[in-house]
Amino acid sequence: MIIKAFLLYKSFLPKKISLREKKFGHYENYRTFVYEDIRRTSNHPLKISVLKTIRPTDSELEILSVLWEKGPCTVREVHDVLSQTKDAGYTTTLKLMQIMHDKSLLHRDTSSKTHIYTAAVSQEKTQQQLLEKMIDTVFGGSASQLVMQALGQHSSSEEELNKIKAYLADIEKQQKNGKN
Q: Are 64 and 32 within 8 A, CB to CB?
A: no
Distance CA 100, CA 94 (A): 10
Positive or negative, the CA dihedral 158, 161, 165, 170 is positive
In the chain, % of residues over pLDDT 90: 34
Taking only the tens place, the pLDDT of each residue in 97-115 is 999 999 999 999 999 899 9
Distance CA 5, CA 34 (A): 10
Average pLDDT value for residue range 64-85? 95
Distance CA 57, CA 175 (A): 36
Distance CA 97, CA 64 (A): 10
Q: What is the pLDDT of residue 143?
A: 83
Distance CA 4, CA 7 (A): 5
pTM (2 decimals)? 0.61
What is the H or E stretch that residue 130 is in? helix 123-138
Domain 58-119 has CATH 1.10.10.10: yes
User: Terminal CA-to-CA distance of the chain, rounded, Å?
Assistant: 51
Q: What is the pLDDT of residue 116?
A: 95
Taking only the tens place, the pLDDT of each residue in 5-47 is 555 555 555 555 455 444 555 545 555 555 555 555 555 444 4
Distance CA 77, CA 69 (A): 12
Distance CA 6, CA 22 (A): 9
C-alpha separations of 99 from 30, 64, 96, 104, 137 in Å: 27, 13, 5, 9, 27
Tell me which of 37 and 82 has the higher pLDDT: 82
